[in-house]
Amino acid sequence: MKLKITGFASGILSLLISQILIKIFGVMYSLYMTNKSGFGDTGNAIYMSGYQIYALLLTISSIGVPNSISKLISEKDSFKDYKNSNRIFYVGILIFSIIGFIGCLFLFIFSGLIANRVLLIPEARLSLMVLSPAILFVSITSVIRGYCNGEKKIHITAKSQFFEQVLKSIFTIVFVEIISRKSPQNIELIAASANFATTVATFFSLVFIIISYKLTKNKVENIRGYYFPKEKINNIIKNIIRISFPITLSAILTSFGKSIDSVTIVRILKKYFSEEIAIKKYGIISSKVDILINFPLSFNTAITTALIPEIARKVSQNDINGVINRIKLSIFISLLISIPATFGMFFYSKEIFLILFPNAMSGAELLRVASISIIFSSLAQTLAGILQGLSKNSIPLYSTVIGIISKMICNIVFINMNGIYEKGAIIGNISLNVIIFLIEYMYLVKFIKIDMNVLNCGFQPLLFSIIMIAFTKKVYHFLIIAFTEKVAILISILICVIIYFGLVLVYFGNPFLKNNFIDKKHVST
């Protein structure tokens, strides 16, 4: 039996491929910077602290935008109301251009205050300044991406994201290389040049997606026989705010959760270590562990991006079975990605650091502990997308608030514990994701009345991951006799990937297994 690739599945697939390529290029410049002589963990701490504050302000101006715009446009398109769909797009451009400009000014003007008083890393001021224009560029880009997602043109979003990452990788290496040769001892300026590459890349990404939008735009008027009253601008603004506000606020709190680390880790560790060591330990978490943990999570973002407009469209069409099928498929794909990623990083943490950070090996044990959060974070992401598609935007918000409080308490308690220190931040992050997942899952099952068991969905990925690790560990011990350690690791990881995807293909190719996973007996009421 052949797998039918639907529009929903093809959208996820295009974004997944895009994210794989994006992460490959992202790893390239991250490895370059981490292993660069004179930069290392201290330079990464300056670079990432500035970038985290930028990401927080960027969340305010753009994170809720594509989801809210795509949801509204997909709902209008389901009724063939193309004229009002276009009005939503133009109003969105206007609103978020203003918000993005305000965010740009705020970051530029208060960069010194944020660096000195909030981050306690004065060297991050220049990084914040050069990042500020990117907020405006990304705000406008996000609206266009939301429009494309709602129009089922997710491939445009995928291409623009890939284009942006390629430019960011190239510009980062070029700018850092130029500055480091002229001012090899000025870590502050080198970090700022890396962040400036982000701003330049976002500008060209905006130009790229504007051109793509103009080339593919084909809607002008409503189809003959369909009449819809012209929607008032006030109503459009209210609807955008109604949908985007809780999504944005939830994303802000998630970014704030990451910013908690940038504030608490250095501040608390200064009581036990020198300032230089405290900053270095934060740099290990922010530039190595977080990047590796976010690697599989970025693939999961593709599911959420495609899921929100698709569920909104099915709800508008009153297609309950379609909604349930997409919910179960999305959860299954999340587990299909997150479980092997967790196993791989848990059992191969030292080997991964040996390959990626040969000149800065500190942090492998932190990665092992942090890998536990991948499954819960992926599921929380997907469930949030499901609830947002179902117009239950407040649930992810409430769960995030409770999770943030838990993380803050864990950071304060565990970072101060003798022998744990920076692991306390990892424990806090795990508690954050577990709590968000549990609250969202309980609400979905109890109130939406879906007959769904995450354990059942995760059985196959769990079994495949166990087989994968057990086999590749044996292969590794055999290869280490004939090859160098690095070569043995690379071959083992490659075999690991081949085995897992081979098992997945066998599973999907079995009609009995596939049909018993997705059927129409999902609704309990």
Write the CA distances from 13 to 16, 249, 303, 330, 518, integer angstroms: 5, 28, 9, 12, 19
pLDDT in tens, 394-444: 888 889 889 988 888 888 888 888 767 778 888 888 998 999 999 998 888
pLDDT in tens, 438-486: 999 888 887 776 666 666 777 888 999 999 998 888 888 888 888 888 8
Residue 224 has pLDDT above 50, yes or no: no
pLDDT in tens, 485-510: 888 888 888 888 888 888 888 876 65
Q: What percent of the chain has a predicted confidence (pLDDT) above 90? A: 10
Give the pLDDT of residue 62: 58
Please say whether the dihedral angle defined by the alpha carbons of residues 443, 446, 451 and 455, taken in this order, is positive or negative: positive
Give the pLDDT of residue 3: 40
Tokens encoding 95 = 């609103």
Residue 42 has pLDDT above 50, yes or no: yes
Candidate from 67-76, 205-214, 491-500 with smallest mean pLDDT: 67-76
What are the b/e assignments for 147-169, b being 16+ CB within 10 Å? bbbbbbbbbbbbbbbbbbbbbbb
Residue 191 has pLDDT above 80, yes or no: yes
**When comparing pLDDT for 37 and 476, which is higher?**
476
Of the candidates 358, 337, 282, which has an alpha carbon nearest to the alpha carbon of residue 462?
337
CB 91 within 8 A of CB 236: yes
Give the pLDDT of residue 8: 62
* C-beta neighbour count of 448 within 10 angstroms: 18
Tokens encoding 146 = 């939301």
Rounded CA-CA distance 299/429 in Å is 19
Give the pLDDT of residue 508: 67
For residue 523, report the phi and psi dihedrals to the nearest 5 degrees: -90, 125
Rounded CA-CA distance 85/182 in Å is 51
Give the pLDDT of residue 7: 58
Give the pLDDT of residue 60: 61
Mapped onto helix, strand or coil, the DSSP state of residue 391 is coil
pLDDT in tens, 239-256: 888 887 887 787 777 767
Residue 23's pLDDT band (cuts 50, 70, 90): confident
Rounded CA-CA distance 192/194 in Å is 5
Give the pLDDT of residue 516: 43
User: In the predicted model, what is the mean pLDDT of residues 247-266?
Assistant: 74
Residue 184 has pLDDT above 80, yes or no: no
Residue 205 has pLDDT above 50, yes or no: yes
Candidate from 1-5, 12-16, 42-46, 148-152 with smallest mean pLDDT: 1-5
Q: What percent of the chain has a predicted confidence (pLDDT) above 70? A: 86
Tokens encoding 297 = 């999570």
Give the pLDDT of residue 326: 81
Residue 520 has pLDDT above 60, yes or no: no
pLDDT in tens, 281-324: 877 887 788 878 888 887 777 777 777 777 877 887 777 788 88
Rounded CA-CA distance 22/168 in Å is 10
User: In the predicted model, what is the mean pLDDT of residues 268-272?
Assistant: 82
Could you identify the residue written with the tokens 């003798």? 418
**When comparing pLDDT for 6 and 39, which is higher?**
39
Give the pLDDT of residue 37: 67
Give the pLDDT of residue 509: 61
DSSP state of 287: I
> What pTM was computed for the model?
0.72
User: In the predicted model, what is the mean pLDDT of residues 158-187?
Assistant: 85
Write the CA distances from 434 to 35, 67, 414, 470, integer angstroms: 33, 24, 17, 27
Tokens encoding 77 = 């398109």
Mapped onto helix, strand or coil, the DSSP state of residue 358 is coil
Rounded CA-CA distance 108/231 in Å is 37
Give the pLDDT of residue 327: 84
**When comparing pLDDT for 452 and 123, which is higher?**
123
Residue 525's pLDDT band (cuts 50, 70, 90): very low
Stated as kind and residue range, the H or E segment containing 67 is helix 64-78
pLDDT in tens, 351-408: 888 888 777 677 888 899 999 999 999 999 889 888 888 878 788 888 988 998 888 8
Residue 1 has pLDDT above 70, yes or no: no
HSE value, Cβ hemisphere, 13 Å, CA-based, for 23 = 18
Average pLDDT, the chain: 80
Residue 4 has pLDDT above 60, yes or no: no
- Find all residues with CB under 8 Å of 20, minimum gap 6, and list them: 299
Rounded CA-CA distance 508/517 in Å is 10
How many whole angstroms from its chain centre is CA 359?
A: 27
Residue 511 has pLDDT above 70, yes or no: no
Give the pLDDT of residue 223: 46
Give the pLDDT of residue 374: 93
Overall size of the chain counted in residues: 525
User: In the predicted model, what is the mean pLDDT of residues 83-109?
Assistant: 87
**Direct distance between the N- and C-terminal alpha carbons of the chain, in angstroms, rounded to an integer:** 31
Give the pLDDT of residue 452: 64
57: alpha, beta or left, given left = phi > 0 and alpha = psi -120 to 50? alpha
Candidate from 144-153, 274-283, 516-525 with smallest mean pLDDT: 516-525
User: In the predicted model, what is the mean pLDDT of residues 7-34?
Assistant: 72
Rounded CA-CA distance 256/404 in Å is 8
Residue 208's pLDDT band (cuts 50, 70, 90): very high
